[in-house]
Amino acid sequence: MPAVNNQGYSYDVAANGFPTQAQCPANTYGPGLRKQRACVPCPPGYITLGAKSKKASACIVPAGYYLKGPGQVAPCPKGEYKKDTGAAASCSKCAAGVTTLKEASTDETACNILLPTFYAFELTAGIVKSTKKCPQKYYCPGGTPAAAFDPTSSTPSDGDAATIIKCSSGLWTENIGASSANQCSE
């Protein structure tokens, strides 16, 4: 075996004294230098898409993360997502009134949590596409909707799938955007 290790591998000497090569694991790379004993780790927060990476350019920003600054990888905040790998400088935002359950979301399907004071007006395949402020006589506690609801076309029941709830008989809310039954009054 030559004294130069192949790209994507590190160089070592076996117990029997013969040279060997070890495949670079994920999140490292091996440029194939002369007797390079260890693979080079990617910078913090960067990943590779598998083992045997050959160049530093194989280290990329993972999905759910963005490049905050030179060499600074950060998770997409709650309410945002990024489905592709790469050095994008920003994440995509969920619709107004919608958030994600956690940071580092990797897909728009994570935009499925209503913020308090909003109800789902348009829901497609579990993704809240649009919201509206909770109207008077209703309160909207937020949460995961199972369906969209337009309160101008029918009457929701308590705990409606769209997370919009009508105040008890005779009660109403002073303003739009109520988030709890405590805001319903005479």
Mean pLDDT (10-residue bins), the chain, 186 residues: 77 82 94 87 94 93 92 94 87 94 94 92 82 91 78 52 81 93 92
Q: Are strands 113-114 and 172-173 parallel, antiparallel or unpaired?
A: unpaired
pTM for this one?
0.79
The answer to whether 27 and 41 have CB atoms below 8 angstroms apart is: yes
CA distance 28 to 167: 58
Question: Which amino acid, 7?
Answer: Q
